[in-house]
Amino acid sequence: MASRQSLACYTLALLFAAAAVSAQLSTDFYDETCPDALDVIESAVRAAVSKESRMGASLLRLHFHDCFVNGCDGSVLLDDAPGFSGEKTAQPNKNSLRGFEVIDDIKAQLEDACEKTVSCADILAVAARDSVVALGGPTWDVELGRRDGTTASLDDANNDLPAPTLDLADLIKAFSKKGLSATDMIALSGGHTIGQARCVNFRGRLYNETTSLDASLASSLKPRCPSATGNGDDNTSPLDPSTSYVFDNFYYKNLLRNKGLLHSDQQLFSGGSADAQTKAYASDMAGFFDDFRDAMVKMGGIGVVTGSGGQVRVNCRKAN
């Protein structure tokens, strides 16, 4: 009996501890310490997206790539430093991640407004939301209070970020490792309704999966993505060729017509367990938006450091 009571007390203690950590993230975290923070971020993001529509997808991707490697701690923004190789040169990020200068600009404005207050990790989370909204997508309340990490890991970035060559089972597994369900994975994949992919990431699908790729799309892609490795590797094509700069549900509509640019995209409609949800999103944009916003909040809580942990970096590119 005593052992059962001890186990129950221990379990309750863990639950209360988890709740306490979660409670440290709040939507009004900066209301007193930096009341203009969200306005500053929104204004800068809208200006950046207005200047270059593609930037919206780039800022959304920065948040995703940050959270999937050692949690949402702003580590993706760190330059290499003595003692570690950062995430920027990892295979999924090299010559691919963009938007660092936009984050630098936002951080500089926030340091002027309220010194050493708003973390780089929180800037990424809010900028991702504001980018989606700027391109016509849903809004959500971003939970805030993340602290910044002081180190980064090249190896973790190479290992933890889902590759564009993954099959459905491996996609589900990769997201599950981060506490995200298959439903979350399919909804978050809808972020590909905006943005571009490099030729090197879809060449295999273009030339080796001809029976599962729409022929007209394949023909339009080949001039920008030749079959020879190293030839046009960094040339880009839209992940959603229908409405490249509008956050909508055409990504899923495209999958129903075998127009997924990446192998991992088309896996969401390939005769497997993801088909029903993908088909539902293709006909119900509101349903997709609801699930996307829920999944973004959930992803934004991966491995966060709060309270006295970490730091608020003055320069997002280096530890204080």
Q: Which two three-digit tokens encode residue 52?
A: 């270059």
| Stated pTM of the model | 0.91
Q: How far apart are CA 234 and CA 215, in angstroms?
A: 22
**Given pLDDT bands bounded at 50, 70 and 90, which one contains residue 181?**
very high
196 near 302, Cβ under 8 Å? Answer: no
- Other Cβ atoms less than 10 A from the Cβ of 219: the count is 9
> Which of 3.40.190.10, 1.10.520.10, 3.40.50.150, 1.10.10.10 would CATH assign to domain 36-161?
1.10.520.10
Binding-site members for substrate are: 162
CA distances for 148 relative to 65, 76, 144, 315, angstroms: 15, 10, 12, 11
- Other Cβ atoms less than 10 A from the Cβ of 179: the count is 12
Binding-site members for Ca(2+) are: 66, 69, 71, 73, 75, 87, 193, 240, 243, 248
Angle ∠(311,316,320) on CA atoms, nearest 5: 45
Tell me the residue type at 168: L
Q: Which residue has the tokens 């003595």?
A: 82
* CB proximity list for 275: less than 8 A, separation 6 or greater: 268, 269
**Given pLDDT bands bounded at 50, 70 and 90, which one contains residue 6?**
very low
CA distances for 45 relative to 41, 101, 104, 250, 313, angstroms: 6, 11, 12, 23, 20
Tell me the pLDDT tens digit for each residue of 240-294.
999 999 999 999 999 999 999 999 999 999 999 999 999 999 999 999 999 999 9
Tell me the pLDDT tens digit for each residue of 209-235.
877 899 999 999 999 999 998 889 999
Tell me the pLDDT tens digit for each residue of 76-101.
999 999 988 999 999 999 989 999 99
154 near 90, Cβ under 8 Å? Answer: yes
Q: How far is CA 109 from the centre of its chain?
A: 24
Any idea which residues carry the catalytic annotation?
Answer: 65
Q: Does domain 168-299 match CATH 3.40.50.300? A: no
Domain-wise residue ranges, the chain: 36-161, 168-299
- The DSSP-derived string for 89-151 is TSTTTTTT---HHHHHHHHHHHHHHSTTTS-HHHHHHHHHHHHHHHTT----PPPB---B-S-
Output the pLDDT for position 22.
42
Q: How far apart are CA 102 and CA 83, in angstroms?
A: 27
Averaged over 53-63, what is the pLDDT? 97
Q: How far apart are CA 276 and CA 283, in angstroms?
A: 11
